[in-house]
Amino acid sequence: MENLTQSFETVLACSVCLGDSESPQVMGANLAIGFMALVVVGMLSTLLFCIFQLNRRAKLAAKEADLELESGDFS
């Protein structure tokens, strides 16, 4: 058990946590976060677009069905 507690005393932070904000690791991490955010926004906007399109098509189909019922044309 003593060995385990001694190893915690020698743990040092990496350059990302320690501080140099201009290091390549920090810039790479920031670019990765930005890329992942863009992917999420792209996927959510595509899903939202599909939902709006389906809603619009459903309204058009309902309107056409109402017009057919009113006109009595069931062909």
The full set of domain ranges for the chain reads 43-75
Distance CA 73, CA 75 (A): 6
pTM across the whole model: 0.61
Q: Which residue has the higher pLDDT, 4 or 28?
A: 28
8 band by pLDDT with thresholds 50, 70 and 90:
low
CB 15 within 8 A of CB 25: yes
Span 33-73, pLDDT tens digits:
999 999 999 999 999 999 999 999 999 999 988 877 777 66
Token pair listed for 11: 């743990």
22 band by pLDDT with thresholds 50, 70 and 90:
confident
CB 30 within 8 A of CB 36: no
First to last CA, the chain: 84
